[in-house]
Amino acid sequence: MYTFLVTFLLMGIVKKNSLREYWSTDPMFATPFFATLFSQDRFLALLRCLHFVNNATAILSDPLHKIRNVLISLTSAFGRVFVPYKDLCIDESLMLWKGRLAFRQYIPSKRHRFGVKFFVMCDVKTGFVQDIIVYTGSTTDIKHYEGLGVSGSVVMTMLAPHLGKGHTLYVDNWYSSPTLFQHLLSNSTGACGTVRSNRKGMPAFGCRKMQRGEVEFKENGQQLALKWHDKRDVHVLSTVHTATMSATGKVDHLTGERKIKPDCVLDYNLKMGAVDKADMINSFVECARKTTKWYKNIFFHLIDTAVLNGSIVHRQLTGEMITEQGIFVIGCTVHIQIHYAIIVTISHPPTHCLIIL
């Protein structure tokens, strides 16, 4: 099994259009290393048989019963091996899937647009993925909190192990609300994020058309709300900022004046992109294939995330900067091969025998 995972990780680096091309003997496309790990037929047979649950004891009403055990095991490990820094962010991620699936989502702002939606919580400083929840509609595995709705319940479920520790959370306008931020504040957790102007509890701002760069602040002693006009009106809510402005380091080429923005906007722009950054890094080395079933794709997506987290922990422990994720993946595959598996080549038939120690 270790060598099977090694093979899939390497496929994330060596990109080909189909799995069978990895065993091609065409001199122009040949990658003979894969044939030293597995024969083509053996690899495809293992992939077909890859299964993560006993169907006889599975809870069939759970939409994720085919992958639930792996999901719980890996997300528990993520939270166990790394203690996050002060700032956290929660955002959506989308794994490409265009096949038939009851909880497939369409998010036009994402790179893939169609697929399985994840709620992801990341440590802002390092990009470490702390927790993942797979969205399955009304059956999504979250604890429902009265008065917070689905979005607030997602936040409280993911933040539960980190409440009361002085963290600051950054979220977008799907999650933000005065009610949620007050609930977090009562649990010694700050929050900042863009917010919809019609959220219950939001103060009323002036109706006049604002010029670019103008800002209006409202505060009640615990929460700061603002309306700031950039290319359009932006509403931000925060429990960790004051009504102050700071220079962005850029200059307006028309007036020659320094550009300034509200401090909470600057912090939000700086700290909200951790989930998208993790998606971008994984996109270069992702090992999931379009030809596999949806739950196998989720499995390989989780493996990609585990490798990303491993590279972050490695950097935190050693201080060694690995500039390309692919280099770390290759290092992982070499380590797995050396420590967990021995490949024995036999002369008959034309396949390779894998012995797992």
Whether residue 103 is found in the same domain as residue 135:
yes
Query: Distances in Å between the alpha carbon of 157 and those of 145, 161, 169?
Result: 9, 9, 13
With bands split at pLDDT 50, 70 and 90, how would you rate the model's confidence at 284? Answer: low
Whether residue 307 is found in the same domain as residue 286:
yes
In a domain, 149, yes or no: yes
Instruction: Based on DSSP, count helices (H) and strands (E) in the chain, helices before strands.
Output: 10, 13
Q: pLDDT tens for residues 227-241?
A: 998 888 999 999 999
Whether residue 91 is found in the same domain as residue 230:
no
What is the rounded average pLDDT of the residues 246-270?
A: 86
Where in the sequence is the domain holding 317, given as residue range(s)?
Answer: 63-166+273-321
The closest alpha carbon to 80, from 43, 115, 151, 130, belongs to 130
In a domain, 56, yes or no: no
Residue tagged 């925060």 (tokens):
238
Last residue of a domain, one of 254, 271, 288: 271
Q: pLDDT tens for residues 298-327?
A: 998 998 899 889 888 888 888 777 655 666
In a domain, 55, yes or no: no
What is the rounded average pLDDT of the residues 71-76?
A: 94
Whether residue 185 is found in the same domain as residue 267:
yes
Residue 352 reports pLDDT greater than 70: no
Question: What is the share, in percent, of the chain residues with pLDDT greater than 90?
Answer: 40
In a domain, 8, yes or no: yes
Last residue of a domain, one of 238, 271, 304: 271
Whether residue 225 is found in the same domain as residue 262:
yes
Whether residue 245 is found in the same domain as residue 317:
no
Whether residue 130 is found in the same domain as residue 189:
no
In a domain, 135, yes or no: yes
Whether residue 74 is found in the same domain as residue 134:
yes
Average of per-residue pLDDT values in the chain: 84
Residue 153 reports pLDDT greater than 80: yes
pLDDT at 291: 61
Whether residue 43 is found in the same domain as residue 89:
no
pLDDT at 344: 40
Residue 265 reports pLDDT greater than 60: yes
Instruction: Return the higher-pLDDT residue of 329 and 127.
Output: 127
What is the rounded average pLDDT of the residues 53-74?
A: 91
Q: How many domains does the chain have?
A: 3
Residue 162 reports pLDDT greater than 90: yes
Q: What is the DSSP string of 303-337?
A: HHHHHHHHHHHHHHHH----S-HHHHHHHHHHHHH
In a domain, 314, yes or no: yes
Whether residue 287 is found in the same domain as residue 238:
no
